[in-house]
């Protein structure tokens, strides 16, 4: 992805004369993850926040992603975001200072993909996923988590470490990264099939009970 971004930046600069600027949040995801709640916090004071799916909501969006964009808006600049014309459920995010060129042009997600393919600007992530996003996102699908574990074991190991340290679970339903790791391990061993339609979390417990006895 790093190589692709450098290549994409070069193409955009050469063809359209636009210098791509990257904005860094004041605090990284990991820094926010390990931030200790103040004693004034209503929930769990004195311990780290952990995974964003906590009692205070998805802080990854409000505390890491949005502040840089809000700073640009306050500075009087217009923020352009990638909402497509066939995503009406996201139109409420558009304002006079937050616009979507895709909506104004009437371009759908399919139109965007086709244009990126024709201009050699389609991210390689779309060869294995339907959407791109943060590799540590708690909202990503099982398939993307499975690929992360397979293709990026170092990042998966970091996820497992964070999982050990977090006071809240990875998913709101109580399942952890370790639960997914155990599921994928069972798939590797051929004990269960990687099919969400037939998978039940109880299969993990059934397998543990079988091995125990």
Mean pLDDT value across the chain: 84
Contacting residues for 120 by C-beta, under 8 A, at least 6 apart: 11
pLDDT one-digit tens code per residue, 101-133: 999 999 999 999 999 999 888 888 888 777 777
- The phi and psi torsions of 57 (rounded to 5 degrees) equal 95, -175
Helix or strand or coil: residue 110? Answer: helix
pTM, two decimal places: 0.78
Assess contact for 71 and 34: CB atoms under 8 A: no
In order of 17, 50, 137, 151, the CA distances from 4 in angstroms are 18, 31, 21, 17
44-83: per-residue pLDDT in tens? Answer: 778 999 999 654 567 888 888 888 878 877 877 788 888 9
> What are φ and ψ of residue 161, in 5° steps?
-65, -50
* Nearest partner of 183 among 210, 157, 203, 213, judged by Cα: 203
Report how far residue 204's alpha carbon sits from residue 192's, in angstroms, rounded to the nearest whole number. Answer: 9
Q: Could you identify the residue written with the tokens 């993990």? A: 204
pLDDT band at 198 (very low <50, low <70, confident <90, very high): confident
């Amino acid at each position: 992805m790093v190589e692709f971004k450098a290549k994409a930046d070069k193409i955009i600069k050469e063809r359209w004369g636009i210098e791509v600027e990257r904005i860094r949040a004041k605090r990284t995801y990991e820094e926010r993850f390990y931030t200790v709640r103040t004693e004034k916090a209503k929930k769990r004071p004195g311990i780290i926040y952990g995974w964003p799916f906590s009692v205070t909501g998805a802080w990854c969006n409000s505390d890491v992603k949005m502040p840089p964009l809000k700073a640009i808006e306050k500075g009087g600049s217009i923020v352009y975001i990638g909402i497509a014309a066939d995503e009406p459920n996201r139109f409420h995010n558009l304002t006079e200072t937050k616009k979507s060129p895709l909506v104004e042009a009437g371009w759908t997600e399919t139109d965007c993909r086709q244009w990126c393919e024709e201009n050699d600007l389609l991210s390689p992530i779309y060869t294995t996923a339907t959407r791109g996003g943060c590799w540590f996102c708690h909202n990503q699908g099982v398939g993307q988590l499975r690929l992360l574990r397979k293709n990026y074991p170092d990042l998966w190991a970091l996820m497992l470490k964070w999982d050990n340290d977090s006071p809240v679970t990875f998913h709101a339903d109580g399942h952890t990264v370790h639960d997914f790791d155990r599921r994928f391990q069972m798939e590797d061993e051929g004990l269960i099939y990687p099919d969400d339609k037939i998978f039940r979390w109880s299969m993990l417990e059934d397998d543990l009970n079988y091995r125990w006895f």
